[in-house]
Amino acid sequence: MSQIEFLQQLINGLSLGAFYALIALGYTMVYGILRFINFAHGDVFMLGAFGGYYLTPRIMPHFAGNLAPVGVVVVLLLTMILCALIGMVIERLAYRPLRSRPKLTVLITAIGVSLLLEYGGQFVFGADPKPYPELITDRALENTGALTITTTQVAAFVVTFLLLIALTLIVKRTKLGMAMRAVSNNATAASLMGINIDTVVSFTFGLGSALAGAAGILYALSYPSIDPLMGLLPGVKAFVAAVLGGIGNIPGAAVGGLILGVVETFVGGSAFSTYRDAIAFALLIGILLFRPAGIFGKAQVEKV
Amino acid sequence: MLELRNVTVNYGSIVALQDVSLKVEKGAIVTLIGANGAGKSTTLRTISGLLKPVQGSILYEGKEIGGLPAHQIVALRLSHVPEGRMIFANLSVRENLLMGAYLRKDRTKLQHEFDYIFAMFPRLQERSRQIAGTLSGGEQQMLAIGRALMSKPRCLMLDEPSLGIAPILVKTIFEKIREINQSLGITVLLVEQNANLALEVSNYGYVLETGRIILHDRSEALRANEKVKSAYLGG
């Protein structure tokens, strides 16, 4: 592999990894708070893509010419808000009533919610793949030499980067972010500090779902054909990314996503390209065998 | 200040507390002693809203609080330092203390509490930037107490503050409990397995046995009580 080829694959891999990272964050935050895998999370990502699909033709005409970037931001933000609301409603209706039940009950419910969104999506949107409207013009940048870097890749990088910064600020600096960290550390103690666990859980679902919604739009820009089952594979892979980074660990999810994207792209560009989709699961098995806590995870030690 | 009237609590189908009545007078240190599994922690967990009573009433400053969720009870300035300390292990010492002040509206005035707590436990100040999980057991207990004080409670409930702590630190912590009571005027409800220590520091004591109060009296009287002596004070 030449140096140029290597760099090209790295760029492609990182831009794929950016989607995984954004989705993985939702898995990991919810796990951190509730110790539960929200298997419907990949479908919120799908709803994000559809949100963009329906909003783009309604919003973009109002932002012609130079204002187009503002329109893109508006579409993105509205989709994120929509997905946040959907995530919060899912939690309120499906998971909260089962909070004190065994984890398995909630897990099965999550699979049920996932199926509901997928097949409900087929019913509402139709099962056929839809061509995604062009939200930003996809073209290769100039003056990049032998490398090909597209505008959608740049957009994906920039948006992901900004969202990661925003998330870090929310978690580190705001009161609710502090409450999230406290609940994730010890929910009982958090409630003794006066933290309303329900509010924190709701907020966490909203935050994670908003990121998944943004990922849905970014993904559809790069792979412009969407359908109601599109969330399945990226969802499962993002889950692997979260485990890879250490489930419950926020920077871990971001790094895990990027690693997975890069590995997948390199495998895709090698002689083993047919195993591209399998590599995520091979990684999952590997990490569970050799480092179950993930890259950033620590085994918890109790002090006496 | 705090009163339980005929409180019954179940864990599933098991009765954990039966018909428990007790009274904590304002300004006092009241202790709850008893063997493992007698229901001491259950009593505190019920008062602080982590458990719901199935019967009876809990009055705090004249207001019924039985069945309120935990986050609303701490807002009434009744704080619980739980068994096992339950500090936020991944947060720094300072962040742990800030979490204690989560409900405080006067957040600009927190420095006063920080100063007070750091003066009481200088070790916490030295380690304020350290991740709380790296503290020793005794330091974690100091942190748990400091964190509860950040909410400016009028009544503080402590669950087994001596558990798993080096003997020399146990002495310090009990001195601080007395100080919290005397100089801050905070009423204390103390659960403790070490009955000797508990009856020494407290004014009044209740003895719990399998979920019932079997005896209560002034602490000095309990220390002289033959039954208490043989069962809880090591002869």
How many CB atoms sit inside 10 A of residue A106's CB?
21
CB pair distance less than 8 Å for A195 and B140 = no
Whether B137 and A304 have beta carbons less than 8 Å apart is answered as: yes
pLDDT score for B117: 95
Summarised one tens digit per residue, pLDDT across range B163-207 is 988 888 899 999 999 999 999 999 999 999 889 999 999 999 999
| The two three-digit tokens of residue B202, written as one number | 């407290």
- How close A195 comes to chain B (CA, Å)? 5
Is A234's pLDDT higher than 60?
yes
pLDDT score for B186: 97
Summarised one tens digit per residue, pLDDT across range A197-228 is 999 999 999 999 999 999 999 998 888 899 99
ipTM > 0.90, yes or no: yes
Question: Looking at B9-18, B115-124, B147-156, which range is the least confident one?
Answer: B9-18
pLDDT score for A78: 97
Question: Chains A, B: CB contacts under 8 A, how many?
Answer: 76
CB pair distance less than 8 Å for B88 and A181 = yes
Whether B75 and B87 have beta carbons less than 8 Å apart is answered as: no
pLDDT score for B80: 97
Contacts with B44 from chain A: Cβ below 8 Å: none
φ/ψ of residue B219, rounded to 5 = -60, -40
CB pair distance less than 8 Å for A190 and B87 = no
In this structure, which amino acid lies at residue B134? T
pLDDT score for A298: 67
Instruction: For each of the domains in chain A, give its residue range(s) and CATH number, in order of start.
Output: 3-290 (1.10.3470)
| The two three-digit tokens of residue B24, written as one number | 């904590």
Question: Looking at A144-148, B56-60, B172-176, which range is the least confident one?
Answer: A144-148
Model confidence at A303, pLDDT cuts 50, 70, 90, reads very low
Residues of A with CB under 8 A from a CB of B: 175, 178-179, 181-182, 184-186, 188-197, 300-301, 303-304
Whether A280 and A240 have beta carbons less than 8 Å apart is answered as: yes
pLDDT score for B210: 92
pTM: 0.89
Q: Which residue of B has its CA nearest to A249?
A: B90
Summarised one tens digit per residue, pLDDT across range B200-235 is 999 999 999 999 999 999 999 999 999 899 888 876
How many CB atoms sit inside 10 A of residue A136's CB?
16
Question: Looking at B74-88, B100-114, B177-191, which range is the least confident one?
Answer: B100-114
The length of chain B, given as a count of residues: 235
Question: Looking at A136-145, A155-164, A268-277, which range is the least confident one?
Answer: A136-145
pLDDT, average across residues A150-179: 92
Task: Tell me whether B74 touches chain A (CB under 8 Å).
Answer: yes
Whether A138 and A152 have beta carbons less than 8 Å apart is answered as: yes
Instruction: For each of the domains in chain B, give its residue range(s) and CATH number, in order of start.
Output: 2-85+153-232 (3.40.50.300)
CB pair distance less than 8 Å for B48 and A192 = yes
For helices A175-185 and A197-222, give the axis angle rounded to 10 degrees.
Answer: 100
Instruction: Out of A185, A186, A194, name the one closest to residue B103 (CB).
Output: A194
Residue reference for tokens 């919003």:
A59
Of B118, B155, B156, which is closest to residue B139 (Cα–Cα)?
B118
pLDDT, average across residues A247-267: 93
Query: What is the 3-class SS of A82-135, one letter each residue?
Result: HHHHHHHHHHHHHHHHHCCCCHHHHHHHHHHHHHHHHHHHHHHHCCCCEECCCC
Instruction: Out of B48, B69, B137, name the one closest to residue A304 (CB).
Output: B137
Q: Which residue of A has its CA nearest to B103?
A: A194
| The two three-digit tokens of residue A239, written as one number | 């889950």
Strands B29-34 vs B204-209: parallel, antiparallel or unpaired: parallel
Instruction: Out of A178, A196, A197, name the one closest to residue B99 (CB).
Output: A178
Give the torsion sign (CA, A232, A199, A201, B95). positive
pLDDT, average across residues A56-77: 91
Is A139's pLDDT higher than 90?
no
Contacts with A178 from chain B: Cβ below 8 Å: 95, 98-99, 102
Is A27's pLDDT higher than 90?
yes
- How close A262 comes to chain B (CA, Å)? 30
CB pair distance less than 8 Å for B48 and A301 = no
CB pair distance less than 8 Å for A303 and B75 = no
- How close A45 comes to chain B (CA, Å)? 30
Provide the percentage of residues in chain B whose pLDDT is more than 70.
Answer: 100
Instruction: Out of A182, A188, A304, name the one closest to residue B99 (CB).
Output: A182
- For residues B9 and A291, what is the distance between their CA atoms, to the nearest angstrom? 42
- How close B103 comes to chain A (CA, Å)? 6
